[in-house]
């Protein structure tokens, strides 16, 4: 069985090296500061005993008061898993550092989060819309998204 890390246990492991990074330890997850995300990612991947080499999933969730980016990580060597979360306030231009330099598997997933939830990933090599087209109004997985059909431009139907 893949052993899930408890939040408190993992928070201790992170705080030992990066004392400022952890915001809160939850049941099975650790919430970290967005600014520290890249350092936390490197730490999780490279520390012996942690070795989270496989980024299973990146999710963006809109909680109206804030956005949350959730990272599901697995270590294929140690067969354990953990969940890292980071919260950004402000609906206009939420920004989280990109972890593509640590796990390349974040590439398409971060693009998807940017496309559908509208969170920008600082340092992503190619942050473009992926499932919708450039020029689509808004980000559909935001809770305040209302599709105004009049405003949608279909580039392929032009002319």
Interaction site with another protein (CB under 8 A): 1-2, 53-57, 59, 61-62, 70, 72, 76, 79, 81, 83, 103-109, 112, 116, 130-133, 140-141
State the minimum distance, in angstroms, from the CB of residue 70 to another protein.
7
State the minimum distance, in angstroms, from the CB of residue 116 to another protein.
7
Give the contacts of 154 (CB within 8 A, at least 6 positions apart).
none
Q: Report the residue number, 36 or 83, with the smaller CB distance to another protein.
A: 83
Q: Report the residue number, 39 or 62, with the smaller CB distance to another protein.
A: 62
State the minimum distance, in angstroms, from the CB of residue 105 to another protein.
3
- Block residue for tokens 């992926």: 130
- Block residue for tokens 């971060």: 110
Q: Report the residue number, 127 or 133, with the smaller CB distance to another protein.
A: 133
Query: Strand 3-4 vs strand 22-25: parallel, antiparallel, or unpaired?
Result: unpaired
| Consecutive H or E run containing 122 | strand 120-122
Q: Report the residue number, 35 or 53, with the smaller CB distance to another protein.
A: 53
CA distances from 149 to 42, 129, 159 (A): 43, 19, 19
CA distances from 49 to 44, 85, 98 (A): 9, 20, 24
State the minimum distance, in angstroms, from the CB of residue 19 to another protein.
28
């Amino acid at each position: 069985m893949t052993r899930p890390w408890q939040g408190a246990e993992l928070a201790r492991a992170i705080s030992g090296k990066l004392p400022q990074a952890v915001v809160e330890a939850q049941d099975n997850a650790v919430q970290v500061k967005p600014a520290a995300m890249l350092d936390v990612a490197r730490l999780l991947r490279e520390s012996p005993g942690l070795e989270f080499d496989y980024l299973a999933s990146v999710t963006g969730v809109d909680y109206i008061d804030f956005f949350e980016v959730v990272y599901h990580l697995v270590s294929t060597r140690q067969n354990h898993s953990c969940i890292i979360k980071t919260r950004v306030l402000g609906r206009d231009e939420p920004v989280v550092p990109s972890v593509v330099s640590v796990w390349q598997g974040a590439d398409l997933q971060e693009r998807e989060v940017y496309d559908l939830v509208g969170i920008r990933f600082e340092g992503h090599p190619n942050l473009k819309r992926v499932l919708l087209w450039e020029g689509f109004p808004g980000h559909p997985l935001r809770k305040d998204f209302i599709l105004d059909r009049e405003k949608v431009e279909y580039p392929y139907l032009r002319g």
